[in-house]
Amino acid sequence: MNMKRKLLSLAVLSTVGVAGTASAGFLSETGTGQVLIYPYYTVQNGFDTYINVTNTTGSPKAVKVRFREAKNSAEVLDFNLYLSPYDVWAGVITADGTDGARIKTADTSCTVPAIPTEGEPFRNLYYTGQAFGQTDDDNDDAEDDLNRVREGYVEIIEMGVPQHIDIDMTSATVYFDTAIKHTGTGASRKPGNCAAIVAAWDTAVGDGSDSIFTSLTNELSAPVGGLMGQGTLINVAQGTDYGYDPVVVESWASSDPDYRIDLGDYVGDDLHSFPGDLSPSIANGVPIAAVLMAASPVPTTIASGYGPSVPYGNASPGAQAMSAILMHSALMNTYNVEASLASGTDWVVTFPTKSEYVKADSADLPFNIREPFDNGNSVNGDTTGACQRTNLKIVDREEQEQSGSVNFSPRPRGSTFSLCWEANVLTFNNSNVLGSEKVNTNIPVPYNNGWVKLSWPVVTGAWVDDEWTANGGVTVDILQNLIMNGPSFVGLPAVGFAVQEYVNGNVGGSLSNYGGEWIHKYERELYMD
């Protein structure tokens, strides 16, 4: 495979699609879409995380809501959510004792299963190998304790539009779409018959294969988008509130059956899965990504996933397309750690598709790692995770840069470090704004304020006998890109944001602490033939 390519830099903050690109996924520029990725939730250090999702359309929606822990993206809870037209569902992730977390809601929108008044605890079953269909060998080698569920991220995925179809197995007639729709007035307004939807999913064997939805066809039409959402990290004791928008992907699913991906253990329609299933995930979408090419005035549709099986065979075509949509060669943001302002900064950097390329392995290493991810400096699953070598450029507000070969004495330490988890919290000078305990990494900075650029090393060459040989004949173990049928996407599928706090304590009888949140800015690079 000849990998000599021309580097093309895309200085854009997002990728966009065009009207009529029905079978190509792209980052939404409108803030609404079919898939919402909330890069971080936490219940550490007194925080609660509030999330909501809004159906902006006049049709009901079937939605999968999934919570993943931060270390290895193991699912800790998911459920089906059925939204009425123009409906909003809201919930809060809060601490469950000293170790766990739970989701609570006062919302009346229909969920399957129903969420109890006291909330539903998150579970460590999946990463300990104790989930339905797993064995002890599926333990992911990281620690098993419940504390892992206290930090993570959230996926909300539209499965489709419920149709006017009878879902009652008795002589009664209950239509799917009308059962979802809210009726009544005021505080008593709620879905018409959520109990019937729960009963339709009822199963004796435990996997949904005997539910009524397995005997139905076309109970959902294809997803049409129109979901929007918000996430908020709130610490009442500290008086801080960090609100953020999720990353939104449009045209993730297609009505074209040629692009429907087999989800394996699904029931009913392609995307309408049993509430206890791991599908659909963000990796189950169409195998096509649409990105804005700098050399072209209009977005270009790029096929992905049907290329060489080596070294990219571990990830599904849908995972490769989603990775291409989220692929960035660098991310940038600011920081402030001024002691006079009692300020601190944390960054969230999340790799939503990493688990599709980094798999638990019973061989000599605890992980089997495929491009675009790196086997890095360490792959010790019980301590440091599958670590990703990362370049670090630190610049103050007056253009002084920490990296470089010429510097004053004493010189700062090297600027390369590793990000080891699916969702990572980077704290500056140990300010630890978010109080992360499981996935935090400190960045010591010599300047009170400035900006930082994270990037990932790139080499070019060719695969020879399953070894990567760089141009110049030097054998290396990494090509930081994702190969498509066309260009190579350089970097990693990374998203996230920065939070800053300013702590003034009690001023004149009022708590005077402040905080703000800023999304990361990105660079995008492609190698073109």
Q: Is the pLDDT of residue 407 over 70?
A: no
Closest CA to 234 of 388, 446, 435, 380: 435
What is the mean predicted confidence (pLDDT) over 227-243? 93
Please name every residue paired with 395 in a beta bridge, in sequence order, or none if there are none: 401, 451
For the segment 155-211, what is each residue's pLDDT rounded down to a tens digit? 999 999 999 999 987 878 999 999 999 998 887 899 999 999 999 998 777 777 888
The predicted pLDDT at position 43 comes to: 97
The predicted pLDDT at position 204 comes to: 78
Residue 301: exposed, middle, or buried by beta-carbon count in 10 A (0-12, 13-18, 19+)?
Answer: middle
The predicted pLDDT at position 521 comes to: 96
Closest CA to 275 of 225, 338, 207, 228: 207
C-alpha 247 chain-centroid distance: 8
- Residues with Cβ < 8 Å from 355, sequence gap 6 or more? 72, 73, 422
For the segment 52-77, what is each residue's pLDDT rounded down to a tens digit? 999 999 999 999 999 999 998 999 99
What's the CA gap between 5 and 484, in Å, rounded?
13
DSSP letters for 35-99: EEEEEEEE-GGG-EEEEEEEE-SSS-EEEEEEEEETTT--EEEEEEEEEPTT-EEEEEEEEETTT
**Residue 183 main-chain phi, psi, to 5 deg:** -135, 170
The predicted pLDDT at position 136 comes to: 66
Asked if 42 and 147 count as a contact pair (C-beta separation under 8 A), the reply is: no
For the segment 242-280, what is each residue's pLDDT rounded down to a tens digit? 999 999 999 988 655 444 444 333 233 468 889 988 889
The predicted pLDDT at position 56 comes to: 98
What is the mean predicted confidence (pLDDT) over 301-309? 44
What is the mean predicted confidence (pLDDT) over 266-295? 74
Residue 296: exposed, middle, or buried by beta-carbon count in 10 A (0-12, 13-18, 19+)?
Answer: exposed
Q: Is the pLDDT of residue 309 over 90?
A: no
What is the mean predicted confidence (pLDDT) over 490-514? 79
Token look-up 């009888």 returns: 509
Which of the four pLDDT bands, split at 50, 70 and 90, describes residue 216?
confident
Q: Is the pLDDT of residue 464 over 80?
A: no
What is the mean predicted confidence (pLDDT) over 475-498? 69
What is the mean predicted confidence (pLDDT) over 405-429? 66
What is the mean predicted confidence (pLDDT) over 140-166? 92
Tell how strand 440-443 and strand 423-428 pair up: parallel
Please report, for residues 180, 182, 266, the alpha-carbon distance to residue 86 in angstroms, rounded to integers and kept in the order given: 12, 10, 28
The predicted pLDDT at position 479 comes to: 45
Radius of gyration of the chain (CA): 23
The predicted pLDDT at position 456 comes to: 81
Closest CA to 351 of 76, 157, 70: 70
What is the mean predicted confidence (pLDDT) over 28-46? 96
Residue with more model confidence, 133 or 480: 133
Tokens of 322: 């989603």
Strand residues in 337-474 grouped as ranges (E): 343-350, 358-360, 367-369, 379-380, 385-386, 388-396, 416-419, 423-428, 440-443, 449-455, 461-464, 467-470
Asked if 403 and 415 count as a contact pair (C-beta separation under 8 A), the reply is: yes
The predicted pLDDT at position 9 comes to: 37
What is the mean predicted confidence (pLDDT) over 294-306? 52
What is the mean predicted confidence (pLDDT) over 33-43? 97
Which of the four pLDDT bands, split at 50, 70 and 90, describes residue 137?
low
Q: Is the pLDDT of residue 378 over 80?
A: no
What is the mean predicted confidence (pLDDT) over 329-351? 93
The predicted pLDDT at position 247 comes to: 97
Tokens of 235: 């610490």
Sign, Cα dihedral of 280, 284, 286, 290: positive
Asked if 356 and 373 count as a contact pair (C-beta separation under 8 A), the reply is: no
Closest CA to 497 of 338, 330, 332, 342: 332
Please report, for residues 23, 79, 268, 315, the alpha-carbon distance to residue 265 in angstroms, rounded to integers and kept in the order given: 23, 16, 10, 17
Q: What is the dihedral of CA 220, 221, 223, 229, to 10 degrees?
A: -50
The predicted pLDDT at position 496 comes to: 97
Q: Is the pLDDT of residue 311 over 90?
A: no
The predicted pLDDT at position 387 comes to: 79
What's the CA gap between 386 and 365, in Å, rounded?
10
Which of the four pLDDT bands, split at 50, 70 and 90, describes residue 295?
low
The predicted pLDDT at position 258 comes to: 44
Helix (H/G/I), strand (E/B), else coil: 188? helix
Q: How many CA atoms lie within 13 A of 478 on its CB side?
A: 18
Tokens of 292: 């804005």
What's the CA gap between 320 and 330, in Å, rounded?
19
Please name every residue paired with 232 in a beta bridge, in sequence order, or none if there are none: 50, 243
Of 253-267, 377-391, 430-444, give the lowest mean pLDDT range. Answer: 253-267
What's the CA gap between 43 and 146, in Å, rounded?
13
Of 329-338, 449-458, 506-515, give the lowest mean pLDDT range. Answer: 506-515
The predicted pLDDT at position 365 comes to: 44
